[in-house]
Amino acid sequence: MRDAFEKVAGDLQQQIYSGILAPGVRLPAREVLAEHYSVPLNVVTNAIALLAGNFLLRYPGELPGDEVYVRDWDDQGFATQLIHGRLVGKIRDGSLPKGARVTVDEVVDMIGGDTEAADQALTYLALEGRVKKIHQRSGARQPTAYVIVGGEFGTEVPVPVQPGNESPDTPKREFPAEAGLADLTRRLERALERIEELEERVERLEHGGQAHNTS
């Protein structure tokens, strides 16, 4: 049952990331999905509830019913998730190869959404080790850029997978509610800056030690 649940949730999620299920589109009825995947109805219900808790789907009421939709671009949590997922896909398929550089504006042009969502998605990718922020010279008026590092950390479902035989309660969210998303992003950015400062100090110490040894 767990394998069936992961298959349904993973496939629906991949269809959203790839654009097969476009933002705002209505999903087929749960009964149709259950027949398509050859799984019990409760497996589909739980998969939908998981993806809704992960900002990808929405539905009226507390539990999935007849009306289930992919969220829209104007939903900040969805936009961040969608940009993050599509960037991960591009890194994995090589269309964003290791060493390539991207800016927030380039990500918006490439994928869509707005600069805030793109910036949040790149911040998460940096924390996952898939990209690294490029240091700009002090006083330089250039957009912040990131270099692709690659990596296979994490998963496209950043929440614990809930087995299909569990109750379809609202799943635990790893990503914060939209109200706290911007605040968390700022904290993460500050943490990244501190890490980068430490890396620079280590590099200076290493270079200083090498110069001392050669003198």
Check residue 10 and give its pLDDT: 93
Top-confidence residue, 189 or 145 = 145
Give the closest residue to 155 by CA, choosing from 203, 70, 84, 76: 84
Q: How confident is the model at residue 156 (pLDDT cuts 50, 70, 90)?
A: very low
pTM greater than 0.95:
no
Check residue 207 and give its pLDDT: 67
Q: Is the pLDDT of residue 167 over 60?
A: no
**Residues 197-212: pLDDT tens digits?**
666 666 667 666 655 5
Domains of the chain: 2-72+159-181 (1.10.10.10), 76-156 (1.10.10.10)
The percentage of residues in the chain with a pLDDT greater than 90, rounded to a whole number, is 44
| Helices 104-111, 115-128: inter-axial angle, 10-degree rounding | 110
**Residues 27-66: pLDDT tens digits?**
999 999 999 999 999 999 999 999 998 889 999 888 788 8
Check residue 139 and give its pLDDT: 59
Top-confidence residue, 2 or 209 = 2
Q: Is the pLDDT of residue 174 over 50?
A: no
Whether the Cβ atoms of residue 108 and residue 114 lie closer than 8 Å to each other:
yes
Check residue 83 and give its pLDDT: 94
Q: How confident is the model at residue 151 (pLDDT cuts 50, 70, 90)?
A: low
Top-confidence residue, 183 or 36 = 36
The structure tokens listed for 38 are 């050859």
**Residues 118-139: pLDDT tens digits?**
999 999 999 988 999 887 666 5
**92 to each of 96, 99, 140, 186, how far by Cα in Å?**
8, 13, 32, 27
Q: Please state the rounded mean pLDDT for residues 176-204.
A: 59
Lowest-confidence segment of 5-14, 126-135, 179-188, 196-205 by average pLDDT = 179-188
Give the count of beta carbons closer than 10 Å to the beta carbon of residue 94. 10
